[in-house]
Amino acid sequence: MIRPVEPKDIDDLLTRSRALCGLRLGELARRLNILPPPSTIRGKGWTGQLLERALGAQAGSASQPDFSHLSVELKTLPIAADGLPKESTYVCIAPLLPGPEARFETSCVARKLSRVLWFPVEAGPTVLTDRRLGRAVLWTPSSGQWQRIRTDFDELVELIMTGGVEHITAHIGEVMQIRPKAANAAARAKALGPNGAPILTNPRGFYLRPGFTAEIVGARVR
């Protein structure tokens, strides 16, 4: 295995994914001739990018699902020693101005979450290269899950589109929240201000809460 091509269909993708179950990240990186980062703090997105390579996803920062021809988004999910997701999961950038992205049906949230291949990965104190891959789960939201996602989306986007972006905190939302998503707190993006006038604010992103992703992958509780 050096640089796999795109999987031809969903079954192909799942077969490849299952073949990686139990593998340590260091071994996978070695097979792909990819160097591990010096530390997790300097390699926050490394695990996800490693899996993209391993499964033949299209690299790049296009606003498309990782496997666009299959409409499948790939997400790694860090699992702590207790079997539960350790972190929230970034979904996409939150719209700060009116437009198609502000309506749920045509939002990045709907596009990204319609089909997700969740890849559990050991997290915690172990060194990055010793972490093992888990069993991948292909997920499409149930009607109830869509409903909960949409309720949070609508509440959050309504706040933004009425000029209340500065009032948003990560406390809002049952399964999905909005948090800063930027290089740092000084980054600015154009948004709708309180009086309909444009303002500059820190860019935000949608994140799925750990409790929700635990439900999705059927994380064990001990």
Partner DNA sequence: AGCTGATCATAT
Partner DNA sequence: ATATGATCAGCT
**Rounded Cα–Cα distance for residues 165 and 157 (Å):** 9
Q: Which is nearer to DNA, 22 or 180 (CB)?
A: 180
Q: Vertex 194, ends 189 and 195: CA angle to 5°?
A: 110
Q: How far is the CB of 168 from DNA (least distance, A)?
A: 7
Minimum distance from CB of 64 to DNA (Å)? Answer: 8
* Cβ at position 43, least distance to DNA in Å: 6
| Nearer to DNA (CB atom), residue 40 or residue 145 | 40
Query: C-alpha distances in angstroms, 88 versus 16, 75, 113, 124, 178?
Result: 26, 11, 14, 14, 11
Query: Residue 47 and residue 123: Cα distance in Å, rounded?
Result: 11
**Closer to DNA by Cβ: residue 69 or 190:** 190
Nearer to DNA, 138 or 143 (CB): 138
Shortest Cβ 35–DNA spacing (Å): 9
Enumerate residues 6+ apart whose C-beta is below 8 A from 81: 124
| Distance in angstroms (rounded) separating the CA atoms of residues 115 and 10 | 11
Q: Report the nearest approach of DNA to the CB of residue 59 (Å).
A: 7
Q: 3-class DSSP state for residue 171?
A: coil
Name the one residue in this structure whose structure tokens are 């001990």: 222
Applying CB under 7 A, the residues found at the interface with DNA are 37, 40-45, 47-49, 51-52, 59-63, 66, 73-76, 78, 86-90, 92-93, 108, 112, 121, 123, 169-171, 177, 179-190, 202-203, 205, 207, 209-211
Question: Closer CB to DNA, residue 74 or residue 110?
Answer: 74
